[in-house]
Amino acid sequence: MVPLPFCTAIVELTQAQGEFLSSLPCAGLVVEPYMRCSLEAGHRGRHVTLAQGSSMTDWWATWGTEDIHGEFLVLPNCSITEPITEDACVLPAEHVGKHSFELV
Positions that interact with Zn ion (CB under 5 A): 7, 9, 37, 39, 47, 78, 80, 89, 91, 99
At 41, which amino acid appears? A
Q: Order of strands across the sheet with 71-74? A: 47-53, 58-63, 71-74
User: Closest CB to Zn ion among 9 and 51?
Assistant: 9
Angstrom distances, CA of residue 83 to CA of 17, 80, 87, 95: 37, 9, 8, 19
Length of the chain, in residues:
104
Angle at Cα 2 formed by Cα 36 and Cα 99, nearest 5°? 50
